[in-house]
A = this chain, B = another copy of it.
Amino acid sequence: MFKTVKQNRAYQDVVEQIQEAIMDGSLAPGRQLPAERELKEQFGVSRGTLREALRVLEQKGLIEIRTGVAGGSIVREAHSETLSENLALLIRNRVVSLQDLAEFREGMDGGVAALAAKRCTEEDRVALQSLLAEAETHIKEGRKGWDLFVRTDEQIHMLLARMSGNQLYIAVLTSVYHNIHSYYENYLPWSKALIQENYLDLCNIVEAVSAADADKAREISQSHVRRFNAYMEGKQA
């Protein structure tokens, strides 16, 4: 009938109050919180308790703490680094497997490519071509350039994500790409032919996106990821 009374620990209460203030905008990004010795008075807690609360908020990525006379707690702009960090944790703990990552990417890359095609600007076209040219250069460098090629490949995919203009895609894919990179290096049977194939796929995707052909961009992008996942499964087996 009755709910157990929630025994909030003091530091949790402090965390919630500050977090709320940040959420509803009364504490805008860049704003500086009062000094610890004053905050502790406002909340009516000891400095130790207050500091535990600040540590939690820092870990959540909501504030940044600087030392020195003009230092203090500063409200951070919202960002996706914490998300990325958490994802990395899950991967290192094998909660999220390589297959999970690959499947997930398969579902998302098509959507991103389609949105990117829909919102492609002249500026984007130039940037894509520039990255494509860079990729071609790395291919010609032979084996030494492979690593750089992979990096450029990632940059192209991230540019597509940014072009989608969708913050969720950007945040999630940033984490996924960051963490899938190491897998690809270890598990993909890199070869000259594979790199070439990858490059051709990229060219086709860029072409479709530049032509604002959303459906084609989605299709090519999905089959591209699917094919690479298949290669990787073959290697693991």
What are 16 A-B residue pairs whose CB atoms fall within 8 Å in the complex?
A: A52-B55, A55-B55, A55-B56, A55-B59, A61-B86, A78-B89, A78-B95, A83-B90, A90-B167, A90-B171, A97-B167, A100-B166, A103-B115, A104-B168, A107-B169, A108-B111
Measured between beta carbons, the chain B residues less than 8 angstroms from A220 are none
Q: Give A51 to B48 CA distance when docked, in angstroms.
A: 9
How many monomers of this protein are in the complex?
2
Identify whether the interface residues of A are mostly helix, strand, loop, or mixed.
Answer: helix
A10-27 to B contact mask, C-beta < 8 Å, 1/0:
010000000000110000
Closest to A175 in B: B83
Q: Which residues of B contact A80 (CB under 8 A)?
A: 90, 95-96
Residue A172, interface by CB 8 Å: yes
Q: How far is the CB of A136 from chain B (nearest CB, A)?
A: 29
Interface centre among A52, A62, A82, A107 (most CB of B within 10 A): A107
How far does the alpha carbon of A89 sit from the alpha carbon of B171 in the complex, in Å? 12
